[in-house]
Structure 1
Amino acid sequence: MITSAAPPLTPQDFASDQEIRWCPGCGDYAILASMKKVLPTLGIPPHKTVFVSGIGCSSRFPYYVSTYGIHSIHGRAPAIATGLKASRPDLSVWVITGDGDGLSIGGNHLIHAIRRNVNINIILFNNRIYGLTKGQYSPTSPIGKVTKSTPMGAIDNPLYPLSIAVACEGTFVARSVDTNTKHLAATLQRAAAHQGVSFVEVMQNCSVFNDGAWNYAKDRETKADNLLELEHGQPLIFGQEKNKGIRLNGMEPEVVEIGKDCGVEELLIHNEQAKSPTLAYLLSQLRHEYGFPEPIGVLRDIQAPQYELELNRQVEFAKEKSGEGDLDSLLGEGETWTVA
């Protein structure tokens, strides 16, 4: 019997018939477009792909891709995705969340999904504001940010998503920019290929309530001096003329001018495969407000035991040792009694 091979997947295979309802100029459009380009390249059909989201503008995402999807409750997408992956390891599971959804009420679920190394892909849209609820400050809003809920300026110390992911021993931690579609697509592809949890922060613009929050990382005139594009095995070099770098001065990183302050050989070399998270954490702490370029690309990519595989091994071992089990017997055994 001769069978013909299935035709290759295309972006149209993942295109939903739903009207996309984001504000004009929202960075979510660019992220969605990049995702639709990446999904066909993975070779995983739509019926084997699931998007799980929480609450927020980003969480409309499952409606706009023609796959299985769960639009869940505020902050709980990582927990739901963990249960789904544990029961169906054959599925490709993506979590779509935002800085408000994932780092406020969902912060606890996010850190535990990362530390467990569940084989899911977590994409966090960071626009540094609550967009769906109309412009309150979020866990990533900078100190002094004036919003509807902080009319005299935010006084909370902001969270830094990359630092949280690395501190939780995330096995794949990366960052990209919504409008840098080539870089974003490459980052999403690498996240999907990783075996274990992948965490990707996307610098994303909210054109209505926090327009221009990432201008320093997007403007053509300034981005080369404000972004550090990471490349495994290469020195940390940046700048319009590629004449700046980062080296260690004792335990502290510092920006230097190549050829004036030092040679290339003195610069830090990026190693995304380092077992220790020390370098990745250092990179996650480079901040624009401290005079450093901010990293984009893959900070860390290592292998470690996957939660759902270990869990299912234990389940199979228990079945081999004790049999399939019976729920009624389990509920009725031990110290039970009947009330007449």
Structure 2
Amino acid sequence: MNTEALFQPVQLGQLSLNNRIVMPPMTRSRASQPGNVANDMMAAYYAQRASAGLIVAEGTQISPMGQGYAWTPGIYTPEQIMGWKKVTDAVHEQGGAIFAQLWHVGRVTHPDNIGGEQPISSSALKAENVKVFIDNGTDAPGFVDVVEPRAMTKADIQIVIDQYRQAAVNAMEAGFDGIELHAANGYLINQFIDSEANNRTDEYGGSIENRLRFLGEVVAAMTDAIGADRVGVRLAPFTSLNGTVDATPVETYTAAAALLDSLNVVYVHIAEVDWDDAPDTPMAFKHAVREAYKGVLIYAGRYDAEKAESALQEGWADMIGFGRPFIANPDLPSRIQHGYPLAMHDPNTLFGGAEQGLTDYPAYTSA
């Protein structure tokens, strides 16, 4: 099979990447406790996968209030920064490039994960039929329903913008090559963007322009701190993950792409719906985004090598993310390039635990 386009180099800001294969962020919930600190086990995991053109590390919360699930890493304490430094050093030693994904879950959490506090969101709207897991004192996560959040005040909004800015600075201190703002999958920024999760009546609610204001202010703070060539943004236009839905996703997210173009972010990463019978992202939308945004466009969700190659050849994508295949195939780029078979991951070891299901998947050998 022809995979020539996937293995063309690509320029990402000041980075020259070897191929167009992205390892996208995937929560694995193995940070060391107490303190939610990235560790040697995580460093080994990412280093094994450093042949990706770009790794975007798992979502890392920017503050204690930003945590949605037990055992996810943070990037707001000195210990957390040092933990991530182990990871970035290990990836760089293998010749890889790695961005941090900066994450605030907003309402997608439970008081047990945020020190007993009430979650915050754009609005006091509970995410329906959404569960998160808490540390129930065992190796098995205990799943609980999320609770109703409180609407953020203007002061809250400014505090969180400052936390994002500081997290971007911390990521540079930890040795990351850049950061990805998680504005997708129903988390905090998505709760401002999507109309059905935002019933504000101030300048952060109502019109598309208003609902994109928080996104723009966060991005501006981060690009001012570390440079636009080190800032990417992940969006999820058509998903209903964690209860966020937009009434006019084509219009909203084409406007988001134009806003991010004006802010000169280095890439936009589109998370497509990836459950089995999900609808495809409309091709007209992909062309509209290409028109609105001139930087590097990454798409992820249900891609195999053939679909990825077509996307690159057709020009509406510049890089492609392969999520779950990277879990059981640390050498995924080599397997794609040589047509080797792909291993399947064990779903029982995705979240929590130790090395099993994280670092014990072998590279391909013909034997």
- Higher RCO, 1 or 2 (CA under 8 Å, sep at least 6)? 2
> Above 0.5 in TM-score?
no
- The alignment's TM-score, normalised by the length of structure 2, stands at 0.29
In our comparison, the structure showing a higher alpha carbon Rg is 1
